[in-house]
Amino acid sequence: MIIKNLTVRFGAFTAVDDVTLEIPDGAIVGLVGESGSGKSTLARAVSGLVPYTGVIEGVDPRRVQMVFQDPLTSLDPRMTIGASVAEGLRLPRAARQAEVERLLTLVSLPVALAERYPRELSGGQRQRVAIARALGVRPALLIADEITSALDVSVQGAVLNLIRSLREEIGLSMLFISHNLAVVRYVSDVVAVMHRGRLVEAGPTEELVKAPSDAYTRSLLDAVPRLGRG
Ligand SMILES: Nc1ncnc2c1ncn2[C@@H]1O[C@H](COP(=O)(O)OP(=O)(O)OP(=O)(O)O)[C@@H](O)[C@H]1O
Ligand SMILES: [Mg+2]
């Protein structure tokens, strides 16, 4: 899919300013930038949740799924995990259980968790459930907005590995948003950098990390701890 000249205004304020960005089929595009740079607003425009000007080609907004930072707010506390994952499935009742089990397995969760409630799961497990739920409708594009930011560092890596394996296994196209360049670098084929509503730079991950052409990208790289730079 391609986003062309996308602009989102809130009154006189321009939150996303003339952004053009391609998300190739089956690729993970990482979107990085400081707080307030317009990342989530861009995501909401692609999902059809805020009005915009410009063109979004090659994806039906009804086939875009978003996963957010805090899965506790997106999972109904009164519903079992199985019921939550089954909710969006357009399948006859009899086929649902098998599909729930397939989805839980896809995100490396034991199928027995289907009987449990969100409060009984760890943050990392809840985030896997949110991803399973989003995958249930077979999205053309998955948008992950700061999905590891609320997690312990110890489980962040496991969720990032899950994202990578989903790209390998099901060829998922994804817009992966984070303010953390080390995290974005780890999962993304392409990195796009936003600054004050504008896309300042985009390119294949390793090229961009090795030779950033934009001063703002260089400042983000300098802020990444040594370990993350590998
Ligand atoms: N509904 C809205 N009405 C007015 N201004 C908004 C609205 N939504 C976002 N903004 C503003 O647009 C700008 C971009 O916000 P956005 O949430 O897209 O940033 P972000 O890059 O996702 O930041 P963060 O990393 O903190 O999540 C901010 O200045 C924000 O205050
Ligand atoms: Mg945001």
The angle subtended at Cα 88 by Cα 86 and Cα 90, nearest 5°, is 90
The whole-number average pLDDT for the span 148-158 is: 90
pLDDT given for residue 228 in this prediction: 45
CA 70 to centroid of ligand 2, rounded, Å: 12
Closest protein CA for atom 17 of ligand 1: 40
pLDDT digits (tens, 9 = 90+) for 157-183: 999 999 999 999 998 999 999 999 999
Question: Tokens 């993970």 map to which residue?
Answer: 28
* Lowest-pLDDT range of 11-15, 24-28, 209-213: 209-213
Q: Which of 65-69, 94-98, 143-147, 150-154 has the lowest mean pLDDT?
A: 150-154
Identify the three-state secondary structure at position 62: helix
Question: Does residue 230 register a pLDDT over 50?
Answer: no
Which H or E run includes 154? helix 153-170
Query: Nearest to residue 46, comparing CAs of 173, 226, 187?
Result: 173
User: Tell me, what's the pLDDT at 226?
Assistant: 53
CA dist., res. 91 & res. 35, Å (int): 40
Percent residues over pLDDT 90 in the chain: 85
Q: Which residues line ligand 1 (CB under 6 A)?
A: 10, 15, 33, 35-41, 179
Q: Does the structure show a pLDDT above 80 at 148?
A: yes
Q: Are 85 and 114 in contact (CB under 8 A)?
A: yes
Spatial separation of the C-alpha atoms in residues 177 and 144, rounded to whole Å: 6
Cα of 33 vs centre of ligand 2, distance in Å, is: 9
Q: SS3 for 76? A: coil
CB 174 within 8 A of CB 163: yes
Of the bound ligands, which one is closest to the alpha carbon of residue 179?
Answer: 1
- Residue bearing the CA closest to ligand 1, atom 12: 15
Tell whether the model's pLDDT for residue 71 goes beyond 80. no
- Report pLDDT for 229: 43
Identify the residue whose C-alpha is closest to ligand 1 atom 29. Answer: 36
Question: In the predicted model, what is the mean pLDDT of the chain?
Answer: 93
Q: Which atom of ligand 1 is nearest to the CA of 179?
A: 25
- Whether the pLDDT of residue 79 is over 80: the answer is yes
CA 26 / ligand 1 centre spacing (Å): 28
Average pLDDT over residues 8-35: 97
For ligand 2, a single-atom ion, which residues have Cβ within 5 Å? 40
Average pLDDT value for residue range 5-33:
97
- Residue 225: pLDDT above 60? yes
Q: Where are the alpha helices (DSSP H) in the chain?
A: 39-46, 71-74, 81-87, 93-106, 123-135, 153-170, 181-187, 205-210, 215-223, 226-229
CA distance 37 to 15: 7
CB atoms within 10 A of CB 132: 23
Residue type, 201: E
Which residue range is the domain that position 21 belongs to?
2-229
Q: pLDDT band at residue 55, thresholds of 50, 70 and 90?
A: very high
Note the ligand closest to the C-alpha atom of 39: 1
Domain CATH number, residue 102: 3.40.50.300
- Domain count for the chain: 1
Interval 91-105: pLDDT, tens = 998 899 999 999 999
How many percent of the chain have pLDDT more than 70? 97
Sign of torsion, CA 50 54 56 60? positive
